[in-house]
Chains A and B, each alone.
Chain A
Amino acid sequence: MSATTTRPASPAPAVALKRTATGEHPAIKWLLIGVSVVFMVLFLIIPLVAVFFEALKKGVDVYFAALAEPDALAAIKLTLLVAGIAVPVNLVFGVAASWAIAKFDFRGKSLLITLIDLPFSVSPIVAGLIYVLLFGAQGWFGPWLQANDVKVIFAVPGIVLATIFVTFPFVARELIPLMETQGNEEEEAALVLGATGWQTFWKVTLPNIKWGLLYGVILCNARAMGEFGAVSVVSGHIRGQTNTMPLHVEILYNEYQFAAAFAVASLLALLALVTLGLKSFIEWKTRHEHAVLPLEAPRQT
């Protein structure tokens, strides 16, 4: 150690400046963090815990009995059916719409983008009412539907329609920015190499958007299963026939069957947790895949 006779006069390490330009005083930092945490606990975590607590308060037997009850089973089945139709339909629509918007220029493109957002900006009740106005007994197509013995309102088709309407932005909103940033050079490269349009879609486009697509599908599914307002208007609340899970929860609650209501609600809460888990996984996965970023950022000439 004594071999070094002259120690380089290294400057005393400057006291590390914790405060960056945008950094605030530690007190403010902790205050903000505290406020957020308290808010989250009060409005998110306590209710979530309460759902499971109330559901299981009277024991596991009551919990499972409530789920195995025929009306509850019918509600679960209907919810799965509705999601099973609405999600694939929106998947196809979302891919088609975002493809059209991201890869082509056409008249009315901005109108289409605005329209895709419509279900987000309009109240779900209005969405439900639209379908009643169109397909209800007094609606535009009502007489024709009645004459041909087709039931839309107060039946499964109406619920499916309302759900599709409410959930159709999810996939498209997820894909449009993704496809716009990716551009269509890879598709052009595939075409020049002799691939057909179909091959190009399956081998080039789809693999590039798969995580964004999955993300959109998961959000779409969560909303399709949890939708209350629009479905409530068109359903008619017929037990065992046109009640989805959220509607069933409401009925049970109004009948003071709290344990049963919370038991069904806990399923929806569980769905939310699974969705969040998948969402984080996908976010982690996409970050991971894009972690090795291009060495040269593409420059535009």
Chain B
Amino acid sequence: MSIEVRNISKRFGSFVALDNVSLEFPTGELVALLGPSGCGKTTLLRIIAGLETADSGEVHFHGEDASDRDVRERKVGFVFQHYALFRHMTVFENIAFGLRVKPRRERPSKEAIRDKVMSLLKLVQLDWLADRYPSQLSGGQRQRIALARALAVEPKVLLLDEPFGALDAKVRKELRRWLRRLHDEIHVTSIFVTHDQEEALEVADRVVLMNHGRIEQLGTPEEVYESPASPFVFGFLGHVNLFHGRVHDGVMNVGDVALDAPDQADAKNAPAVGYARPHEFDVDRYSPGQPGIRVKLLRALAVGPVARLELERDDNAEMIEVEMPTALYRELKFAEGETLLVKPKRMQVFLKPDGVGASSTVSYGEAI
């Protein structure tokens, strides 16, 4: 079933959680709502579920307006960050709950409930835990049970609110691969909320980036990572280096170095910020007359396959972080303290908004 939200707005007191958000979630896709804390992603999910009501706007399920439908009638599956398993019920009873509370004429027979619960337990690979209580399970097991419970009522939509947020890093990684495989198996339209960009890029078919109650970008993981639509997205998805300067006719001047800026071919002497990822640099020894930014190598971390270089610009002492294959780094034999030349192979340039030099989203990028 497809979901569509139209012009949804929601405020909590003076805080704007959602600002006129419109989105479409096509049938069968796994979509990630990604953004920092307080960007409105969880609120949007709860509005779709019916746990929260929007101040204005509509929620459509399969083309039908469901805005006034009660939570119970929306027939969605919801997975909570802290599992929200019924602590006084066994795993079996937890999963059976949704079937047991159905009105008498829709309620399946005892045997049918039993079979359904056991098949769901098999699906989440935890059939040996049927008689345990939630407190006797590990975090990862609890979340899988919570998922099985949500699937028991055969929801048309599955909504997951930071499903792996309370788990430790290793379990989280395992569980998100498992979720991806599960989704490929059952193909129910799913939306999951996360603030972890790695998780969103790895698991989702499509990613919706949100900030301050608005949608910043929407696209496949490749699209949003390779061509971020805004400085915010650039800063949020992975590490990034910032270069402040002026751009004129597709050329950006950073210090006294001129760099190509094809994105801004029409700009006339405008203040701009260039974004370049750490692995997209050429690094060489300094020799006079060569193009590039002069830097000093402060520290190099050559552990594992990728070497990380911390560089300090000679002109303004700003830091640049560069990554290169460790093998290449060894070959070049740079010494700490040496003067080098760096040049971004690819840099995306955004004009600075009028007025204040750098907007808040830009400074967010620097913080990363």
Q: Do A and B bind each other?
A: yes
B98 on interface, CB distance cutoff 8 Å? yes
State which of B72, B133, B149 has its C-beta within 8 Å of the C-beta of A191.
Answer: B72
With A195-B72, A295-B139 given, is the CB distance from A186 to B98 under 8 Å?
no
**8 Å CB contacts to B: which residues of A173-199?**
185-186, 188-196, 199
Chain B residues with CB under 8 A of A296 = 139, 166-168
Chain A residues with CB under 8 A of B50 = 192
By size class, the interface of chain B is 35 or more
With A186-B86, A189-B80, A208-B87 given, is the CB distance from A194 to B153 under 8 Å?
yes
- Give the distance in Å from the alpha carbon of A88 to the alpha carbon of B309 in the complex: 72
State which of B85, B102, B165, B195 has its C-beta within 8 Å of the C-beta of A299.
Answer: B165
Q: What's the minimum C-beta distance from A188 to chain B, rounded to whole angstroms?
A: 6
**8 Å CB contacts to A: which residues of B120-156?**
133, 135-139, 149-150, 152-153
Chain A residues with CB under 8 A of B97 = 190, 193, 195, 203
With A186-B86, A189-B86 given, is the CB distance from A292 to B165 under 8 Å?
no
Contact A189 B84 (CB under 8 A): yes
A204 on interface, CB distance cutoff 8 Å? yes
Contact B135 A193 (CB under 8 A): no
B51 on interface, CB distance cutoff 8 Å? yes
A28 on interface, CB distance cutoff 8 Å? no
By size class, the interface of chain A is 20 to 34
CB nearest neighbor in B for A204 = B86
- Give the distance in Å from the alpha carbon of A189 to the alpha carbon of B77 in the complex: 9
CB nearest neighbor in B for A206 = B88
- Give the distance in Å from the alpha carbon of A196 to the alpha carbon of B100 in the complex: 12
Chain A residues with CB under 8 A of B150 = 192-193
With A186-B84, A301-B37 given, is the CB distance from A194 to B75 under 8 Å?
yes
With A189-B86, A298-B82, A301-B195 given, is the CB distance from A195 to B138 under 8 Å?
no
Chain A residues with CB under 8 A of B71 = 188, 191-192
- Give the distance in Å from the alpha carbon of A59 to the alpha carbon of B290 in the complex: 114
State which of A194, A199, A293 has its C-beta within 8 Å of the C-beta of B135.
Answer: A293
Chain B residues with CB under 8 A of A8 = none
Chain B residues with CB under 8 A of A13 = none
**8 Å CB contacts to B: which residues of A43-90?**
none
Contact B139 A301 (CB under 8 A): no
Contact B37 A185 (CB under 8 A): no
Q: What's the minimum C-beta distance from B79 to chain A, rounded to whole angstroms?
A: 9
- Give the distance in Å from the alpha carbon of A26 to the alpha carbon of B152 in the complex: 61
- Give the distance in Å from the alpha carbon of A185 to the alpha carbon of B85 in the complex: 9
Chain B residues with CB under 8 A of A208 = 87-88
CB nearest neighbor in B for A208 = B88
CB nearest neighbor in B for A186 = B84
- Identify the 4 closest CB pairs spanning chains A and B, nearest first: A193-B98, A185-B84, A195-B101, A189-B84
22 contacts across the A-B interface (CB closer than 8 A): A185-B82, A186-B85, A186-B86, A188-B80, A189-B80, A190-B97, A190-B101, A191-B72, A192-B51, A192-B72, A194-B98, A194-B102, A195-B72, A203-B97, A204-B86, A207-B86, A208-B87, A292-B135, A292-B136, A296-B166, A299-B166, A301-B165
